[in-house]
A and B are shown apart, each in its own frame.
Chain A
Amino acid sequence: MKSRGWNVRLFKREQRSLFGEILDWMLTPLLLLWPVSLALTWLVAQGLANKPFDRALVHNVQALAQQVRVGADLKAQFNLPQPASELLRADETDLVYYQVKGTRGEFLSGERDLPEPPKDEDRGNSYEVRIRDDEMRGMEVRVAYTWIRLDTTGHRPALVQVAETREKRSVLAAEIIKGVMLPQFAILPLAVLLVWLALVRGIKPLSQLEERIRARKSDDLSPLDDKAVPMEVAPLVVSVNALLDRLKDSIATQKRFLADAAHQLKTPLAGLRMQADLAQRSGASEDELKRSLQQIGRASVQATHTVNQLLALARAEGGGASLPLSSAIW
C-alpha cells in the first residue's frame, strides 16, 4: 500500500487488502475526528461550566444595581448595605470584586482597577445585565455588568460590575471534560474491536463463496448461485458466471472440433487398412501389391493433408473451430 502521509498504516502487505483498506479508511477519520471532538468538548464544557455561576453573578449585579440612586446633588449615589457586602465577598474558591461608577465616569465604590467594558460596545437597555471575560490583576475573571441610565447631570449611564475569578468554572469544566473524555478512552478501543469484528463478519460471505468455488469439481462449469451471495458481490458472481458460460461454449467447440477431426481421419485410415489387408492376401500378384502400396501412399498423403489443415484451423481459431469442418476441408 502506498503511503498516505501521516495516516496510521495498520497492515503491511504486499498485496492490496480490502480488509486492511476498509479498516484504515474507517479508523483514520475516527482518529482524526477524535482531537476535533476533544476540542469541541472543551469549548462546550467551558460554556456549560459558566452557566450556574453566571446566574449568581447576574443576581449580584442586579442587587448592586438596585442600590444606585440619584442623589440630591443630581449625582449618582451608591450605598452598599453590609450584608450584601458580605455576600459578595463570601466564596471559598474564587475572589469576587465589584465596581460602581457614576454618570460622569467617576468611581463610586468597589475596586478601581476593575476594567471597564469595551468602549465601542453597545450599552444596551438600562439594567440589562451583560457578561464578559476579562483580565484583572493578572487573573482571568468573569465580569457581569450593567449600564443604568439615570436622570442626572452626567454624560453617560452609571456602571455596575461584579467580577469573579474563574477557578470554580475551570474546575467544573475540567470535571465535565474528564467525565466525557475518559469513557472515550475505553470506548475507542472497543469501537475499533467492534469494527474489526464487524468487518470480519462482513467479509465472511466472500470466504463462503470461496469455499463453494473450491469445492467444485474441475469440470464443473455450471453457474454459481447468485441468489446466495450478498447484493454487492452479486455482480461479480454474475460476471463470473458469464465467463463460465463462455468457457463452456469454448470447450464445447473444442470438443466438437476434436470429434470432427477424428471423424475426418477415419476414412483415410479405413482406406489404409483396406489396402494393407488386401496386400497381405495370399496369392496377390506383384501388380496388385504395387497397386496396394500406391494406394497406401496416396491415403497417407491425404491423411497428412487433413491433419495439416486441422492444425491450421486450430491455430487460426485459437483452439476452437467455428467453421463446420466438412465444408472447410472438402
Chain B
Amino acid sequence: MRILIAEDDQVLADGLLRSLRNAGAAVDHVASGSEADAALMTNNEFDLLILDLGLPKLHGLEVLKRLRARGSTLPVLILTAADSVEERVKGLDYGADDYMAKPFSLQELEARVRALTRRGMGGATSQIKHGPLVYDQAGRVATIDGKMVELSARELGLLEVLLQRAGRLVSKDQLVERLCEWGEEVSNNAIEVYIHRLRKKIEKGPIRIATVRGLGYCLEKIPG
C-alpha cells in the first residue's frame, strides 16, 4: 500500500505518517500543493492520496482538479479545517472520494483509509476475500480456510498489492513502487525472494501466484 500525504502542518503530518506506517503502508509526504502536483504527475503508483485543502503554493482543490484532468482514478481523501456544506460539496464534486474535517479522530481516519483502499482489493468490507484466502484489512491478518498465515510486513505489503490487482499482471517495478517510500531501496532480487516466501505460505488450494517471465506476477484463483 502506497500512500501520499499532502499536508503542510508538521505535527499533523507526523501523526498521519506514523499511524499509516504502523498500519503497514508505504507513506510519502509533501508539504505544498505544487510538490503534490509534481509527485502525482511523475508517480502513478499511489493507492491513496490524503490531501489537505489549505496547502501553500497551490490550493488542494487545484491539485485535485489537475489530477482528475489527467484521467487518474486515484482515491482521494480530503482534509480541511473549513467545514461547510459548500466546501464538502465542492470537494466531492471536484473528484474527492471522501472528506474529513479537522480535527478528527485517528480511528475514523484509519477506517476511512481502509474503506477507500479495499475496493481496489476487491473488498466490500474490511474482510477481503480471494477464494479461501481472507485478508483482514483492519487487523492486517491473512487467513486461509480460517487458519491464520504468518506473514512479515513486507509479505503483507506484497499480498495487498497483488490483491489489489488480482487477476492482473504486476511488474517487479510496480511492486517496488508500491512497497517502497522515496528513499527506500528494495532490489528486484529482493522482490523475487519475497514472492518466493509468500508463495510458500499462501499457495494452497486454488490460490496461485503466477510468474510471467519478464513481465511480472499475478495473483490468481484456479478454478475447480
Interface residues of A (CB under 8 A from B): 263-264, 266-275, 277-278, 281, 288, 291-292, 295-296, 298-299, 302, 326, 330
CA distance A298 to B10 in the complex (A): 9
Task: Provide the residues of chain A in CB contact with B15, threshold 8 Å.
Answer: 271, 274-275, 277-278, 292, 295
Q: A267 touching B105 by the CB < 8 A rule?
A: no
Contact-size category for B: 20 to 34
Task: Provide the residues of chain A in CB contact with B82, threshold 8 Å.
Answer: 263
Cβ-based interface call for B34 (8 A): no
Q: How far is the CB of B50 from chain A (nearest CB, A)?
A: 12
Q: How far is the CB of A277 from chain B (nearest CB, A)?
A: 3
Of all chain B residues, the one with the shortest Cβ separation from A263 is: B81
CA distance A330 to B109 in the complex (A): 26
Task: Provide the residues of chain A in CB contact with B109, threshold 8 Å.
Answer: 274
Cβ-based interface call for B182 (8 A): no
Cβ-based interface call for B173 (8 A): no
Task: Provide the residues of chain B in CB contact with A263, threshold 8 Å.
Answer: 81-82
8 CB contacts below 8 A, A to B, read A268-B9, A271-B10, A272-B11, A277-B106, A281-B22, A291-B14, A292-B15, A295-B15
Task: Provide the residues of chain B in CB contact with A270, threshold 8 Å.
Answer: 9, 12, 79, 81, 102-104
Q: How far is the CB of B22 from chain A (nearest CB, A)?
A: 8
Task: Provide the residues of chain A in CB contact with B56, threshold 8 Å.
Answer: 330
Of all chain A residues, the one with the shortest Cβ separation from B109 is: A274
User: Inter-chain contact count A-B, CB under 8 Å?
Assistant: 74
Task: Provide the residues of chain A in CB contact with B9, threshold 8 Å.
Answer: 267-268, 270-271
Task: Provide the residues of chain B in CB contact with A330, threshold 8 Å.
Answer: 56
Contact among B14, B19, B54 for A267, CB-based, below 8 A: B54
Q: How far is the CB of A270 from chain B (nearest CB, A)?
A: 4
Q: How far is the CB of B103 from chain A (nearest CB, A)?
A: 4
Q: Taking A271-B14, A281-B22 as given, write out 13 further A-B residue pairs in contact, using a Cβ cutoff of 8 Å, ordered by the A residue number.
A: A266-B101, A267-B9, A268-B11, A270-B103, A271-B15, A275-B15, A277-B106, A278-B18, A278-B106, A292-B15, A295-B11, A295-B14, A302-B11
CA distance A97 to B41 in the complex (A): 137
Cβ-based interface call for B166 (8 A): no
Interface residues of B (CB under 8 A from A): 9-12, 14-16, 18-19, 22, 54, 56, 79, 81-82, 101-107, 109
Task: Provide the residues of chain B in CB contact with A266, threshold 8 Å.
Answer: 81, 101-103
Q: A274 touching B81 by the CB < 8 A rule?
A: no
Q: How far is the CB of A269 from chain B (nearest CB, A)?
A: 5
Do A298 and B11 form a contact, CB below 8 Å, given A263-B82, A330-B56? Answer: yes
Contact among A267, A274, A288, A299 for B106, CB-based, below 8 A: A274
Task: Provide the residues of chain A in CB contact with B16, threshold 8 Å.
Answer: 274
CA distance A268 to B22 in the complex (A): 22
CA distance A243 to B157 in the complex (A): 66
CA distance A298 to B104 in the complex (A): 18
Q: How far is the CB of A274 from chain B (nearest CB, A)?
A: 3
CB-based closest 3 A-B pairs: A271-B11, A274-B15, A277-B106
Task: Provide the residues of chain B in CB contact with A291, threshold 8 Å.
Answer: 14, 18
Of all chain B residues, the one with the shortest Cβ separation from A273 is: B103
Q: How far is the CB of B19 from chain A (nearest CB, A)?
A: 5
Task: Provide the residues of chain B in CB contact with A269, threshold 8 Å.
Answer: 102-103
Do A267 and B107 form a contact, CB below 8 Å, given A275-B15, A291-B18, A298-B10? Answer: no
Q: How far is the CB of B56 from chain A (nearest CB, A)?
A: 7
Q: A278 touching B81 by the CB < 8 A rule?
A: no
Of all chain A residues, the one with the shortest Cβ separation from B52 is: A267
Task: Provide the residues of chain B in CB contact with A267, threshold 8 Å.
Answer: 9, 12, 54, 81, 102
Task: Provide the residues of chain B in CB contact with A326, threshold 8 Å.
Answer: 54
Task: Provide the residues of chain B in CB contact with A292, threshold 8 Å.
Answer: 15
Task: Provide the residues of chain A in CB contact with B102, threshold 8 Å.
Answer: 266-267, 269-270
